[in-house]
Homo-oligomer: A and B are copies of this chain.
């Protein structure tokens, strides 16, 4: 889309916003800054931005030799590590498109996505060899698989003839490669949403969207990243570009620490301490493991000071533990694959400084304010904008230069509503612009024409000391259409009764929001990104008969 030009154009340098400029900057100004990776091989690997840039250039040469050209898709199935980072820059830098695939998907889904994307090559960590062997016969466009390892470790797989070795490819190439200059709206990377309905759909990012997102995400009221930070992205690089952190660390010059496949509490804690991590980011379930380990061993964090939690709502109890017991600032964030992903981050205003901690905590539990670039509104089912009064529920729409205008290959058709992207979330916004996601549109419980937010009910349940996980769904009720049913997984060794749990809601919410019943389960079904799959739970309890029915 082009816009009219003024009769008088500015006289500023014309420089496209390109991902290659990030690594060029990191090399030139923070060349000796470390990148530390726990590897699939088990050891700790250390390198620098300068060396990363050098190897990214070698990779660009290797891919060129393999016949890859601008716009071609190169897939990865890899953990957070330095080789994956080289692919981020080598692939996008040369003008090809980095397609990060979530290895937790079913092999059939992976093959579907790789074929849909028409991937040319696929780079993978050795962990995923069985997946690769399973999908290889199904992938119709992939011309070669590249194992992210050196020759010594290259597996002899008779199911993968012609398997390429990443280190061999790099070894053979010169490190001289001039990053090409091209239109900043060119595609840089591709990430499919693990939608719960329909086929996966690809969000196709541009260099411009990635760069603007990088600037915005590093701002003081967003991730607040500086050259003094040591950043450990727990959020995977196959999950919306690890929330842009592989880009924003290069923009700011922060030291980078990659956890590799070891996401258990012990491994993470050791890496936090050894590398003096100051900042991390991930979904709530990961912090659960870390906090359990730290709590059981009565440990403290020496340098860890701030974390961004997103992907799904952070349980208030977890936020309080981090804030009060460990003095870690929690920035609750909200975004989507379709938003690169950051939309809002929760930080307080000067006017909140004198508030009692309970009120601060209540604000911090919201998803916060938009970052400049993103605009949001809530609308009713007819598209009419609703007030920001902190009470009115509405469908949340967003727009901005790092929000998709549609999906790759126009999958799903024209998705925008009047130029806005419908998030599928239901939210309230308070008069100060703080967003609170109350539910997914499809998860909201519609009781007698009113909306009950399932997330509120779940947050209360997990605040109970005996509850490990909870999901609240609407099940059929003859009078109210739907009423809430709470499904609970107890903590190992803990016990709690149905009646105790229902009593736990007293005084915390409007009485008519209280679930009509509780069932206990051994586990909740989790999706590939660690989110609870509510549609599966709804299926399980589709014919559940409530005692109130």
Per the 8 Å Cβ criterion, residues 313-364 of A in contact with B are: 340, 347-350, 353
Q: Quick check: which of A124-132, A167-175, A396-404 contacts chain B, the rest being far away? A: A396-404
Residues of B within 8 A of A30 (CB): 433
- A5 on interface, CB distance cutoff 8 Å: yes
- Is B10 within 8 A of A206, CB to CB? yes
**Shortest Cβ distance from residue A415 to the other chain B in the assembled complex, whole angstroms:** 10
- A220 on interface, CB distance cutoff 8 Å: yes
- Is B215 within 8 A of A10, CB to CB? no
- Is A7 within 8 A of B207, CB to CB? no
Q: Which residue among A15, A95, A186, A226 has the maximum number of chain B CB atoms within 10 Å of its CB? A: A15
- Is A6 within 8 A of B183, CB to CB? yes
- A179 on interface, CB distance cutoff 8 Å: no
**Shortest Cβ distance from residue A434 to the other chain B in the assembled complex, whole angstroms:** 10
- A461 on interface, CB distance cutoff 8 Å: no
Measured between alpha carbons, how far is A53 from B97 in the docked complex, in Å?
A: 41
Measured between alpha carbons, how far is A218 from B226 in the docked complex, in Å?
A: 12
**Shortest Cβ distance from residue A97 to the other chain B in the assembled complex, whole angstroms:** 6
Measured between alpha carbons, how far is A265 from B69 in the docked complex, in Å?
A: 62
**What band does the interface of chain A fall in when counting residues whose beta carbon is under 8 Å from B?**
35 or more
- Is B187 within 8 A of A9, CB to CB? yes
Contact string, A208-232, partner B, CB cutoff 8 A, digits 1/0? 1100100110111100111111100
- Is B5 within 8 A of A182, CB to CB? yes
Partner of A70, one of B7, B70, B184, B402: B7
- Is A11 within 8 A of B407, CB to CB? yes
- Is A10 within 8 A of B187, CB to CB? yes
Measured between alpha carbons, how far is A402 from B14 in the docked complex, in Å?
A: 9
**Shortest Cβ distance from residue A410 to the other chain B in the assembled complex, whole angstroms:** 8
Chain A interface SS verdict (over half): loop
Residues of B within 8 A of A17 (CB): 401
- Is A221 within 8 A of B252, CB to CB? yes
Partner of A6, one of B14, B28, B182: B182
Measured between alpha carbons, how far is A348 from B24 in the docked complex, in Å?
A: 21
- Is B226 within 8 A of A347, CB to CB? yes
- Is A29 within 8 A of B433, CB to CB? yes
Partner of A13, one of B24, B204, B369, B401: B401
- A296 on interface, CB distance cutoff 8 Å: no
Measured between alpha carbons, how far is A226 from B340 in the docked complex, in Å?
A: 22
- A192 on interface, CB distance cutoff 8 Å: no
- Is A227 within 8 A of B347, CB to CB? yes
Partner of A227, one of B9, B228, B350, B405: B350
Residues of B within 8 A of A224 (CB): 220
A residues with CB within 8 A of B:
1-17, 22, 24-25, 28-30, 70-71, 73, 95, 97, 181-188, 203-209, 212, 215-216, 218-221, 224-230, 251-253, 255, 276, 340, 347-350, 353, 369-370, 372, 375, 399-408, 419, 421, 433
Q: List 27 A-B contacts (CB under 8 A).
A: A5-B183, A6-B182, A8-B70, A8-B73, A8-B187, A10-B204, A11-B206, A11-B404, A12-B340, A12-B405, A14-B405, A24-B375, A25-B370, A25-B375, A29-B370, A30-B433, A212-B215, A215-B216, A215-B219, A219-B220, A219-B226, A219-B252, A220-B225, A221-B226, A227-B347, A228-B347, A228-B348
